[in-house]
Structure 1
Amino acid sequence: MSGATPTDRPKIVMDARFTRMDHHDGISRYGASLMAAVAPHADVTMLIHDERQLALLPNLPWVKINSPLSPLELFVARKVNKLGADLVFCPMQTMGSWGRNYPLVLTLHDLIYYEHPAPPGFLPAPVRVLWRLYHKAYWPQRVLLNRANAVATISHTTLSLMRKHKLTKRPIRIIGNAPQGERTPRDPAGQPEKSLTYMGSFMPYKNVETLILGMADLPDFTLNLLSRITPERRAELVSIVPTGATVVFHNGVTDAQYDELLLRTTALVTLSKAEGYGLPLVEAMALGTPVVVADTAIFREVGGAAAHYVPADSPSDFAAAVRTLAAPAAWTESSTASVAQAATFSWDASARELLAIAQELRG
C-alpha cells in the first residue's frame, strides 16, 4: 500500500458492534482482523455498543453507540454522520442507513440460511422469528444491500450466488478472510499425533454427526470437538458416538489452545454442507496442518489442491481420507502443500481492497 502520504489517509469508520464479548466467532474475528489490517493506512474509528468488546479489538479510537439489535438502529446514521467519515464499513448487511451523508459498504458473508434457515441460538427470540421470515425470500436481502454504495463479500463462491439471485445492483467486491496474525508453520518432517480437530458450531448443517460416525473406522484416533456446545446438543451427539471411538468435547478453547492443538493434530476436519468461507481451513493450513473437508464449492475455493475432499455424508470416505494421512510421506507432502495454499490469502490484500473502495468513493 505504498504511495500514500499522511494527507491521503482516508477517515474510515468500521462497525465493530458485532464483536463478541469473550471469544470470537467468524464475523467477530473477521471484523477485528480487517480493522487491524486497515489501521496502518487510514484513520480508523471503531463503533462499539459495549466496552467489553474492546478486549477482542485492536487498540484504536472508538465511539460507543446503540446495539445493532436495538430499535435505535433505524436512526444510527444521525450519530455516525457526526464522525465525518470518508467511508463507513459494516461487516454485516443490517446497519441502519436512513439519513446518512457518508459512503457505506455493507457485507454479505454467505447465503447459508436460505437453505438452512435455523437461526443462531444466541439471538433473542423475537430476532430469531424475524430471521426465519427474512430468509423465506430474497427481496428483503435486496432491499438491505441496495442501500449501500458498494457491497463486500468474502469469497468468489458467495459472489457467484449473489449474482445468480440478483441480490444487489451495487458493485460487489471481495474483501476476503485470512489467517489471523503471524503463524509459524510446524515442521513438515515431524509426525503428528493420532488426533483430529474440528472447530465450528454444532448447527445441523455443520454435519458433525458424520464426523462422529466416521470415528467407528478410526479407533486409534481421537476426535477433538473444540467449540462451545449446549448440554442438549452435546447429549444428542454423545448418543451416536460409536463403540470404541474416542470423541472429546472441549466446550470452548482459547486461541492459544486452538493453535497448540492444530500444531500436533493429524488434520483439521469438517464436513459442513454450507459455508461462506471456512476460516478454520486457512488457520490450520497456515500452520502446516492438513485438512479433510466436504467436497463443496467453497472448500474447493479455499483448500485448492492442498485439501483432501470427501462426500459430505460418507463416514467411510471420511475415515479413508484420514487413513491416507497416516503414511508419513503423505502427511509431509500434504503439510507442505497446505502452507503454500494458505499463503494465497492475506489481510493485507483485504485491506488494500477496502482502501481502494474508499478512494473510489471519495473521488
Structure 2
Amino acid sequence: MKERHIGISLGNIGALHDGLGEFALQIGTRLAAVAPAWRAQYGIRLHFHLREKLFGLFGNEVAYIAVNRWQRLRHVQPESFALWHSLHQLNKNLPPQMAAGGTRLVTVHDLNYLYGRNAYSRWRHHRRTLKLMARTDHVVAISQHTAGDVKRELGWAGPLDVIYNGARSFVAAERAPLPGWAEQAERPFLHHLSRMSPSKNPQAVLDLAREWPEMSFVMCGPPSDDAKALKAANRQPNVQFHLGISDAQKAWAYANCSGFLFPSLTEGFGLPPIEAMHFGKPVFLARRTCLPEIGGEAASYFDSFEPAAMKAVVQQGMARHAEPGRALAVQAHAAQFNWDTAAAAYLALYRRLLGLPG
C-alpha cells in the first residue's frame, strides 16, 4: 500500500482559548484520534502544521511540521500531500508541494472584514483573502451566511461545503464562583462573554446597563487590550468585569446568569451563545450576519441597539423563557452543534476528496 499524506495546518494560531483556537483544538484532537486507523486501513499519515511550541498537542500518532515565515514565500516538505487542509482563512503560509491530483482545502470562518468601517483595512484583508482563494481547490464554510459571502464577495464558483462548528458543553464541568459571588448567585445578572473588540459591540451592553440600573451585568472574556480599556473606564456600579476567567468560572457564569447578551456586529458562527444555550438560558443576539442562522427560534434578537429597545427585547424574551418547556427547547437546539458531528463531517469530506471507501 502506497503511503499518502494529509496536512492539517493551524498556521500561526498560538492561543487556544479564542474561537479559531477552540476550533483547531476540537477538530484537530478528533482528527488525530483516527490517525492509527487511517494509517492501517488506508496507508494515510496525518501531519499537523503548527507552531513548534505546540508540538505534541495532538499526540504521538501524528507527525508535526513547524510553521516558519519563509513558508509565506515557498513551502517545501519531503512529502507530497494528497490533501492539505488549512483550518482557517487567516493562514498566510503557502501549501507545500501537492501530489498529482491533490486537493488544497480551506475552512473559511468568516469574512468579517467586509463589515468593517476602515476602507484600507477592508482592501488589505480582501486582497489577502483573494490570494488564499487563488491557491484553494475546495472550500468549507462554517455557516450558510459565510458560504454566501464567499460566493458573493470572493466570486467563488468552485466546490463548497457547509460544516457547522460544534460547541463545548460546560454543563457537567466543575464550577467556581466569580470573585465576590457566592456559589449560588444571590441576585440576577445578565452575562456577556467575548474578547470585547468593537465588532463584539460591548458598548451596547454597557449602554443597556446604564438604562437598567437595577439589573447587574457581568462582562467576561480574555484580558485583551479592548477589554482592559473598557474595564478601566467603567464607572457604572451595576457592571462588573472579570477577565481571564477559568473554565470553571465560565461554567458558573453560564449556570447562574439570568440571560446571555451577545449583540455582536460580525460573526462567522458564534460559540458563546450556544455554550449559554447548553444551560437552557435565554440568549439575546444581534440580528446580524450569521447569528439568526445559528440562534434560530431558540434566541431573541436585537433589531436596534438603542438601550430602551434592547431592554424591551430582554424583558420580553425572559418572560417567554418562563413558559413550560422553553428551556428544554433551547438546550435541544444547542445540542445539534456538536464537535463529534463536525469532525465526522470533515472526515467524510476527506474520504470523498481522496476517493476512500466510507
Taking structure 2 as the reference length, the TM-score comes to 0.80
For residue 19 of structure 1, report the CA deviation from its aligned partner: 3.4
Question: What residue in structure 2 maps to residue 65 of structure 1?
Answer: 66
Question: What residue in structure 1 maps to residue 139 of structure 2?
Answer: 151
Judged with a 3 Å threshold, the aligned counterparts in structure 2 of structure 1 residues 162 and 221 are, in CA distance, closer, same or farther, namely same
Q: Tell whether 2:22 aligns with 1:29.
A: yes
Question: What residue in structure 1 maps to residue 43 of structure 2?
Answer: none
Name the CA distance, whole Å, in 2 between partners of 1:230 and 1:139. 27
| Residue identity opposite 1:213 in structure 2 | D
| Residue identity opposite 2:95 in structure 1 | S
Q: Does the 8 A contact of 1:87 with 1:104 survive in 2?
A: yes
Q: Tell whether 2:217 aligns with 1:215.
A: no
Task: Using the TM superposition, name which of 147-156 and 226-235 deviates more.
Answer: 226-235
Could you say what secondary structure the match of 2:214 adopts? coil
Q: Does the 8 A contact of 1:193 with 1:266 survive in 2?
A: no
Question: What residue in structure 2 maps to residue 354 of structure 1?
Answer: 346
**Structure 2 spans left out of the alignment, 5+ residues:** 39-45, 174-183
* Aligned residue runs from structure 1 range 266-277, under 5 A: 266-277=258-269
Taking only the aligned residue pairs, the percentage that are identical comes to 23
- Note the aligned Cα RMSD (angstroms): 3.3
Q: Tell whether 2:273 aligns with 1:284.
A: no
Question: What residue in structure 2 maps to residue 160 of structure 1?
Answer: 148
Name the CA distance, whole Å, in 1 between partners of 2:224 and 2:88. 26
Name the CA distance, whole Å, in 1 between partners of 2:255 and 2:60. 28
Q: Tell whether 2:286 aligns with 1:294.
A: yes
Judged with a 3 Å threshold, the aligned counterparts in structure 2 of structure 1 residues 232 and 293 are, in CA distance, closer, same or farther, namely closer
Q: Does the 8 A contact of 2:104 with 2:138 survive in 1?
A: yes
Question: What residue in structure 1 maps to residue 7 of structure 2?
Answer: 13
Q: Does the 8 A contact of 1:223 with 1:246 survive in 2?
A: yes
Residue 201 of structure 1, aligned match among 191, 195, 202: 195
Q: Does the 8 A contact of 2:169 with 2:278 survive in 1?
A: no
**Structure 1 spans left out of the alignment, 5+ residues:** 1-6, 120-128
Taking structure 1 as the reference length, the TM-score comes to 0.79
Name the CA distance, whole Å, in 2 between partners of 1:142 and 1:219. 47
| Residue identity opposite 1:50 in structure 2 | E
Name the CA distance, whole Å, in 2 between partners of 1:10 and 1:334. 50
Question: What residue in structure 1 maps to residue 110 of structure 2?
Answer: 110
Q: Does the 8 A contact of 2:166 with 2:337 survive in 1?
A: yes
Judged with a 3 Å threshold, the aligned counterparts in structure 2 of structure 1 residues 194 and 118 are, in CA distance, closer, same or farther, namely farther
For residue 362 of structure 1, report the CA deviation from its aligned partner: 1.6
For residue 110 of structure 1, report the CA deviation from its aligned partner: 1.0
For residue 162 of structure 1, report the CA deviation from its aligned partner: 1.5
Alignment length (residue pairs): 332
| Residue identity opposite 2:74 in structure 1 | F
Name the CA distance, whole Å, in 1 between partners of 2:123 and 2:214. 45
For residue 289 of structure 1, report the CA deviation from its aligned partner: 2.0
Q: Deviations 1:96-153 (Å, cap 9, x if unpaired)?
A: 036433422112211111221669xxxxxxxxx9x65423xx4553331131221111
Question: What residue in structure 2 maps to residue 123 of structure 1?
Answer: none
* Bigger strand fraction: 2
Question: What residue in structure 2 maps to residue 318 of structure 1?
Answer: 310
Name the CA distance, whole Å, in 1 between partners of 2:212 and 2:325. 22
